[in-house]
Structure 1
Amino acid sequence: MFINEQSKMNLNGVPQFVSIRGEKKEAPLLVYLHGGPGDAALPLVMKYNKMLEQQFTVVVWEQRGAGKSYYKFIGPVTIDDFLNDLHVLVNYLLSRFQQNSLYLIGHSWGSILGLRFVEAYPELVRTYIGCGQVVNMRQSSKTAYEYALAHADKKSLEKLRGIDCSYQTDSWLNDLLFVTRQVVRHKGSLYGRTNYNDLVIPFLFSPYYTLPDLIRRQKGSLQAIQYLWQEVMQTDFEGQTHYGAPLIFIEGRYDSHVSSALVKNYFDRIETEKQFYWFENSCHFPQWSESERFNKLLCDLLA
C-alpha cells in the first residue's frame, strides 16, 4: 500500500474526515462523493470498491455533518457550503499530488454536488462519473411516489394517498421517510432486497468505524435531510446540456429511488462527450450491487 491515510482536514473552518488510499505512486486521483445528504459511505467503498485502489488514489470524503464528520448544525447549511468544501479539498489534493485534474464519482445526493462542481470548475475534472444520478428531483420524487403507490398494500395505500410528494407540507419529513421506506421495502432501491441490512453490515465490521461513529452517521443523515431537503428538491439539471468535462453515467436498470429512466432521457440530450452504461442487476446502488463490474468498467474506461 503506497498510501493509507485516515484523518480529519479543516475545510472552510469545519473539521471533516478524509480517507486517502492507493497502491501506486503517481496514480490519478479519484474522489468519491457519498449520497444522502448525510449518508456516509467509507466502509462500503473500502469493501466493495477496493479494486479501484490498484489504479487510482481513492479519496473518500465524509462531508460536513456526516458520519465521522458529524457535528450539530447551527444556523443555515446550504448546498453551496458543500461545494465550497469540495473545492478546497480538490485544490488541496491536486496541489499535494501534483496533478492538474481528477476523476469525480457522485452517487445520489453526491451526484448533485458532482454535476454542480463540473459546471463550476470543469478544468479540475478529468471525467465525472454519476450513478444514481439526480437530474430533476421533483420529477424523481413523483416517480418514487408512484412506484410506492403501485406496490402498496391496503394500509400503506391509504397513508400514501394523503401524502404530497412535493414535500412542502408541515409533515414533509415523515412523508418523505415513509415513501422512501416503501420504495426500499418493494425492492426499488437495493436490488433484490427489501431492506438496507446488507449496506449496514460493512460499517459494523470496519476497523475505521466505531459504534459511536455509526450512531453519529444516523444522526448526521437525519439532520442533513432536515436542513437540506427543501433545497435538494429545487435541483434540476434539465436545462443544462453542455458541460466542460466528459461525463459517464452508470445506472441501475431498476432504480425507482432516483429514477434511472429520467437519467437516460437526460443523457440523450447532453451535447458533451458522454457515455452511458445500464447495470441490469441493480437499482440505486450499482457501485455495490454489481461492484466487480463497476470497478472493472472504471479501470478500463479511465486507464
Structure 2
Amino acid sequence: MNINLSAYWKINESNQFISIFGDDDKLPLLLYIHGGPGDAALPLVYKYNRVLSKHFNVVVWEQRGAGKSYYSFQNEEHITIQTFINDLHTLVNHLLKKFDQEKLYLLGHSWGSVLGLTFAKEYPHLIHTYFGCGQVVDMKEGLRRQYDFVLEESEKRNKSKITARLNNTDLSLTQENWLKDLLFITKLVVKYKHSLYGKSNYNTFVKDFIFSSTYTWRDLINREKGSLQSIQYLWQELMTIDFSNETDFDIPIIFLEGRHDKHVSSTLVEEYYQTINTPKEMVWFENSSHFPQWEEAEKFNEVLSSIIENK
C-alpha cells in the first residue's frame, strides 16, 4: 500500500512535523535528518529525492524548533544536543513499531550527521546502515579549515577589508559577537562558491522553498526564525563535537561527500574515513560541495537505491 503521510507527532512533549512517502508500506524505512541546526529541508527532499520512494519509505523529520516544528525555545527547557538524540530515539522506536520493522536506514546531513553518527554509535541495534552526507568530524578543526579557505581566497582576490576582518576574528567563538563572526565566515564560503558548488548564493534552493506546495509563507518565516534560534542555543555545544577517536562501529558506515565541500571539509571526512575499522564506503560527488543530495540528486538517489537492490 502506498504511503503518503504528513502529521504532527508528539515527541517528548514537543509537537514535531513528520512526513513519510513511499510506494509500499512494506519497504524499508529511511530517516532523513536535516542540517542546521534548525535548517529544515522538507521541500528540497520532496523535489530532489522523491524517487527514493520506489525503494524506501522515506521519513522527513522537521526537528523541534525547525520549520513546521518551530516554536520559541525557553531557557528552562535546557535545549542541548542530547535533547535531539532523545527525540530521535523516540521517533525511531515509534517508526519501527508503526511499520513493524526491527531496523531502519539513517541519513544525516551536516548538523544532522552529528545526531546521526552519535545515534549510530549509541543504538546500532536499531540501524541497518548509516549514511553521512556533509559529515561533521571535528567542529573546531572544521572551522579552522573553513577559515583558512576563505582567508586564502580573500587574499587571492585582493579583498583587503575582508582579509583584515578575518585576521581579527577569534575562532574560539567565545567572544560577544561570536555569531556575527561565524556567519561572516560561512557567508564567505558560500560567496566563494564552495558551499553550493559553482554558485555564490542559495537562490536556487530559496526558490524551491518559495514555490513548494509543502510550505506556507508562515512556514518560511518560521524556518528562518527556527534556524537562528537553534544556532544561538546549540552552536557553543556543537563546537565541542569531535568524532576523531570514534573508529569502531557495529554497523556499516557510508559517507556521501561533495568533492568541493569547504563548508564542512570533505578532506577532513576523507582523513577520518581512513581510520574507521568497521565496514565502510566513501562515495564522491565530483560536481558537488555541501549538498550532493540536491546538487547531484540523480546519482545520490541511485547510490542509496543500489544499497537495497544489492541486498
Flag whether TM exceeds 0.5 (same fold): yes
Which residue of the partner structure matches residue 31 of structure 1? 31
Which secondary structure does the structure 2 equivalent of 1:177 belong to? helix
Which residue of the partner structure matches residue 225 of structure 2? 219
Which residue of the partner structure matches residue 172 of structure 2? 166
Matched, 1:260 2:260: no
Residue 193 of structure 2: which of 160, 163, 187 is its match?
187
Matched, 1:57 2:73: no
- Partners in 1 of 2:15 and 2:194 — Cα distance? 35
Superposition misfits of 4+ residues, deviation over 4 angstroms:
none
What is the CA-CA distance between 1:293 and the residue it aligns to?
Answer: 0.2
Q: Give the gaps of 5 or more residues in structure 2.
A: none
Report the TM-score, using the length of structure 1 for normalisation: 0.99
1:1-303 superposed matches below 5 A: 2-75=2-75, 76-152=78-154, 153-303=159-309
Which AA in structure 2 matches 1:137? M
**Residues 141 and 166 in structure 1, CA contact (< 8 A), matched pair in contact too:** no
- Partners in 2 of 1:226 and 1:232 — Cα distance? 11
Which secondary structure does the structure 1 equivalent of 2:264 belong to? coil
Which AA in structure 2 matches 1:25? D
Bigger mean CA offset, 165-174 vs 9-18: 165-174
**Residues 28 and 56 in structure 2, CA contact (< 8 A), matched pair in contact too:** yes
Which AA in structure 1 matches 2:121? E
**Residues 25 and 99 in structure 2, CA contact (< 8 A), matched pair in contact too:** no
- Partners in 2 of 1:217 and 1:94 — Cα distance? 28
Q: Which whole-Å deviations, capped at 9, do the CAs of 1:26-84 have from their partners, x for residues lacking one?
A: 00000000000000000000000011011100000000000000000001210000000
What is the CA-CA distance between 1:302 and the residue it aligns to?
Answer: 2.9
Percent sequence identity over aligned pairs: 54
Which secondary structure does the structure 2 equivalent of 1:251 belong to? strand
What is the CA-CA distance between 1:160 and the residue it aligns to?
Answer: 1.1
Report the TM-score, using the length of structure 2 for normalisation: 0.96
**Residues 55 and 308 in structure 2, CA contact (< 8 A), matched pair in contact too:** no
Q: Give the gaps of 5 or more residues in structure 1.
A: none
What is the CA-CA distance between 1:166 and the residue it aligns to?
Answer: 2.4
What is the CA-CA distance between 1:25 and the residue it aligns to?
Answer: 2.8
Indicate the RMSD between aligned Cα atoms, in angstroms. 0.8
Which AA in structure 2 matches 1:257? H
Which secondary structure does the structure 1 equivalent of 2:263 belong to? coil
What is the CA-CA distance between 1:3 and the residue it aligns to?
Answer: 1.1
- Partners in 2 of 1:26 and 1:98 — Cα distance? 9
Which AA in structure 1 matches 2:122? A
Paired residues in the alignment total 303
What is the CA-CA distance between 1:301 and the residue it aligns to?
Answer: 2.1
Which secondary structure does the structure 1 equivalent of 2:72 belong to? coil
